[in-house]
Amino acid sequence: MQLEENKDLVRRGYEALGKGDWTFLRKVCAPNFVDHSPVQGQAPGPDGFIQSRMTLMSALSGFRSTIEDIVAEGDKVAVRLTNSCTHRGEVWGLPPTNKRVTYTETTIWRTIDGCFTDRWCNTDTLSLMQQLGGIPVR
């Protein structure tokens, strides 16, 4: 049953992210949380992770993650997502384009005692940057 509870925690985490529910995320990120895939300039620990998400969400409005696949084994949950949002603020040095963008992500979360302790993430940033005009499409 613990595997289903871990998957539910991840689902609720993405719902909270979409709603900007930072209180929930602070509650479920362990004090020793490690983001193994930080964005440039992200501070360590749960505060750094949450602050980086807050910054991104302020630039990428209407953020929604659709879980395509979710698999749990042991203390890890792997999730394949399709993310969509509208580029309304400066991000990665790119001025707002007001474009609606969609990109994929695969993330592994480690959970212990109902909290996130680790995160490993691979995002299709090439597709995202091409949609935002930061990288030309050939």
Q: What is the pLDDT along the chain (138 residues), one digit of tens a residue?
A: 699 999 999 999 999 999 999 999 999 999 999 999 998 889 999 999 999 999 999 999 999 999 999 999 999 999 999 999 999 999 888 999 999 999 999 999 999 999 999 999 999 999 999 999 988 877
Model pTM score: 0.92
Rounded to a whole number of angstroms, the distance between the first and last alpha carbons of the chain is 48
Q: How far apart are CA 100 and CA 122, in angstroms?
A: 21
CATH class of 2-132: alpha beta
Q: Within 10 Å of residue 4's Cβ, how many Cβ atoms?
A: 9
What residue ranges do the domains of the chain occupy?
A: 2-132
